[in-house]
Structure 1
């Protein structure tokens, strides 16, 4: 590993889409704005066995091979007019790749782990209170107990949830954005960015859930192509009858690139030193407003559940939005006021089907565990 390696857990095939097959790439460090040209791609990827074992990483490599095929298909479809549309398998891999890449990064672990640990500790505390262990409850209430877990455990839990949840985003409209300017798309150490312009005024709860109305997802896949997933009911676009949009405005490219700066942990990557001045200027414009946004955990006692007051506290974890308001020339949206917000799913039928599938999987797993227990007795 080099001294400037970000270890941000993006596969090498993804880097090479931006480096035109080269083994080097350019890197801007968020903290100081220093640019490192010709950074070895291998040095930017995760260290060996970060995810716990070689066996797990081998399984991830198999998944990445599928995801590479899907992203290559997207690039070919975007730029080759004679290319066939995605096969059903390629399309499924593409949506899976998006959630997998979001879940696997160090950025995602750092963002979600503190809130998860606070939630787990609170659950443990309430269990102890129920069991009458007042001494340990007191230690927890006095903040003398801290719950921690290895990064690889956090990563695998998030990845597992992500892979189970792919159907929840497949109702979003898929667009391939084709960059026709001389400014390239860049990417960060967490390149899959979730946003919700429609609900950007809602601050006290999460609006980035996979079935949130108004969800937007941006994922650059090379300097001239980006994937955009949006909720068709909440945004107006002039190209709804096509899955392609050609961007000719430099300002739109810079706004999409700004998402990468605000949703990053250590650095921004770009194709080569030709674009040093452009990327550095972007960093100067946004650096004072860039901040790392962590998930939050709250105990809620004043909320209604199914329209009724609750007898005890509600545990509430959510991920706030990044500190950036996206305003693209080719997307129209009227954000609603926070007072107008009412929790709902974008597609309740998909949510119900997904829940039924999870319940069936749990039932099969329980039956399997019972068989194993019986055979060992």
Structure 2
């Protein structure tokens, strides 16, 4: 008897359906509100089954889609408990690991991530270097192309769990929204921010890397709750003992919603509590800021060891634009010892004992060129 062929979903979601249902219209689990940011089109209902997904985005063989489905089924109860029961995973438990793993994958699986890689690939041959005189080498292009392939997507997503240990020391709490402005999400809902590097005006590389000092992750869970993961050597959120931090400052909530606009590619999403007027107000505010995820390539001259006077070294830096709105949130403050942290060189920007550096949105390659 012939083996029944496995049915592969045609629409493969990059924002999981279970997660979209947390924001469904009247909690119906079937539709969600949508605003197209590039066309200013507001719709109170679109089908979750066909939204925030692309045709065979993770391939036609089903291997990656099946792997993601398992990850989602393991993660869904953890995130549902957060807003339904105000329950967070126990630190360093299996669920804590799963929570962080889901966050990393949610970021890496997004089409924006692969669009950035594509744009790096296209820009690299036309990037000039005053140091080496002429265009940069094309040596990195095959690697960028490989990461965009189905095989590359599978490899990068499956290796995401290697990044989790670097995040285990970060603190995490729930923000409880007590205002009239409901939380919203977007087609790229995980917000990576860094008030610490923003305040220091640190311009070397993008501030969106999982190993950086001052890292902040914000993920709305439904209209009333948001997961906040942050570097507790730099910030404090609420008081030391509370795990649920209530915010009743509308300006703070509006800023968090504004970040969804600036981190999105094409759409923001919401439930029945969000009005068209509120969305249009946020859209207008977003026009004052630069959007995240615009890629850049820079070339820096770096020092070479003494005795190598005939050599010139350059570093090729590939990164993306950051979210930068001078974020200020109620009950989220810098701790006093953060002001003593020194930043002089690249290595200073990373947290202690971080294994993976520059693994997400910034890539450093160093080349040494012999002078003529």
For Structure 1 versus Structure 2, the TM-score category normalised by the shorter chain is 0.7 to 0.9
Q: TM-score, normalised by structure 1?
A: 0.75
Find the counterpart in structure 2 of residue 177 from structure 1.
175
Q: Give the length in aligned residue pairs.
A: 327
Q: Distance in 1 between matches of 2:272 and 2:47?
A: 12
Kindly indicate whether residue 59 of structure 2 is the aligned counterpart of residue 58 of structure 1: no
Secondary structure at 2:252's aligned position in 1?
Answer: helix
Between stretches 54-63 and 330-339, larger displacement belongs to 330-339
Indicate the residue corresponding to 2:19 in structure 1: 14
Q: Does 1:69 align with 2:77?
A: yes
**1:235 alignment counterpart:** 235
Larger helix share, 1 or 2: 1
1:105 Cα deviation after fit: 0.7
CA distance in 1, matches of 2:209, 2:193: 10
Could you say which residue in structure 2 is the equivalent of 1:348? 352
1:111 and 2:116 are equivalent in the alignment: yes
Structure 1 gaps of 5+ residues are 1-5, 123-137, 356-377
CA distance in 2: counterparts of 1:284 and 1:63, whole angstroms: 37
Distance in 2, matches of 1:305 and 1:322, equals 36
Give the equivalent residue in structure 2 for 1:295: 295
SS in 2 for 1:165: helix
Q: 1:295 to 1:8 in 2, by over 3 A?
A: farther
* Runs of 4+ residues over 6 Å off in structure 1: 140-143, 145-148, 334-339
Match of 2:41 among 34, 50, 55: 34
Equivalent pair of 2:304/2:312 in contact (CA under 8 Å) = no
Match of 2:318 in 1: 317
How many Å apart are 1:116 and its aligned residue?
5.7
The residue number in structure 2 matching 1:218 is: 218
Which is further off, 270-279 or 11-20? Answer: 270-279
d(CA) in 2 for partners of 1:29, 1:336:
40
Aligned to 2:364: none
Scaled by the length of structure 2, the TM-score of the pair is 0.76
Q: Secondary structure at the match of 2:321?
A: coil
Coordinate RMSD, CA, aligned: 3.6
Shift of 1:114: 2.3
CA contact (8 A) 1:26 1:38 kept: yes
Q: In the TM superposition, what is the alpha-carbon distance from 1:268 to its structure 2 partner?
A: 0.4
C-alpha distance in structure 2 between counterparts of 1:187 and 1:326, whole Å = 18
Aligned-pair CA distance for 1:294? 2.2
Distance 1:327 1:8 in 2: 33
Q: Distance in 1 between matches of 2:239 and 2:302?
A: 43
Contact 2:182 2:273 in 1 (8 A): no
Give, in angstroms, the shift of residue 346 of structure 1. Answer: 4.8
Q: CA deviation at 1:344?
A: 2.3
Query: Using a 3 Å threshold, how does the CA distance of structure 1 residues 62 and 190 change in structure 2: closer, same or farther?
Result: same
Partner of 2:369: none
Give the C-alpha shift of residue 7 in structure 1: 8.0
Greater share of residues in strand: 2
Q: How many angstroms does 1:40 deviate by? A: 0.7
Tell me how far 1:30 sits from its aligned partner. Answer: 0.7
The residue matched to 2:302 in structure 1 has which SS? Answer: coil
